[in-house]
Chains A and B, each alone.
Chain A
């Protein structure tokens, strides 16, 4: 089954504790991206990747890092999470965006 998977689905952490949210797709798409969803703001793009080793900033990249070492995986890294990064995060593949199921992150 063609899909985008994210892990974990739910995460509660504390300020400053590094975390990684994984994203994987099995559709051989070159383009992958990360979004955060906040009430009243819709979805905002954090980072995107056109292909392996090619990444670029979206609209809200501050406080996030990504890597794209293989085509299928695009992890989102928060080196030092802060409470304002509490949000619902979506990974997507393809420029028309096939979305994953989401990761709800709470930073205390």
Chain B
């Protein structure tokens, strides 16, 4: 069943604002993945994290692998209209690393 909890479930912000979202689990993960899904499309991998404490950037996006290995964070700086979409965290279960579990998603809406 679902093992990742994302927060918040939705965000309504003004263009130019910074965005923060997080993903938590009751289980330890060795890898954290962040995806973005545009309307009508499949999710696309944004950032992959492999080490506790790791901080990785991809343009205006920054993601962090929590030191407890039970959480991860995604920040978007200076949001623009094309940031609209659903952001998912995901990770492979340690037991059964072939299975990838996803959070419920954070839906981001931007007012121009």
Contacts and interface: CB of A to CB of B under 8 A. Distances in A.
Given A45-B99, A50-B98, A99 B104 contact: no
B48 A59 contact: no
A48 B99 contact: yes
Interface centre among A31, A33, A43, A59 (most CB of B within 10 A): A43
Contacts of A95: 92, 97-98, 100
Contact of A96 (B9, B45, B88, B102): B45
A62 interface: no
Contacts of B33: 96-97
A74 interface: no
A97 B41 CA distance: 14
Interface residues of A, number: 25
B76 interface: no
B44 interface: yes
B59 interface: no
A92 B99 CA distance: 12
B98 A56 contact: yes
B100 A42 contact: no
B38 to A, nearest CB: 11
Contacts of A50: 98
A41 interface: yes
Interface in A31-74: 31, 33, 35, 40-45, 48, 50, 56, 58-59
A44 B102 contact: yes
Nearest to A49: B98
Contacts of B112: none
Contacts of A92: 42
Interface of B: 1-2, 4, 6, 9, 33, 35, 40-45, 48, 88, 90, 92, 97-105
10 contacts: A42-B102, A43-B88, A43-B90, A44-B2, A44-B102, A92-B42, A96-B48, A97-B43, A99-B44, A100-B42
Interface of A: 4, 31, 33, 35, 40-45, 48, 50, 56, 58-59, 90, 92, 95-102
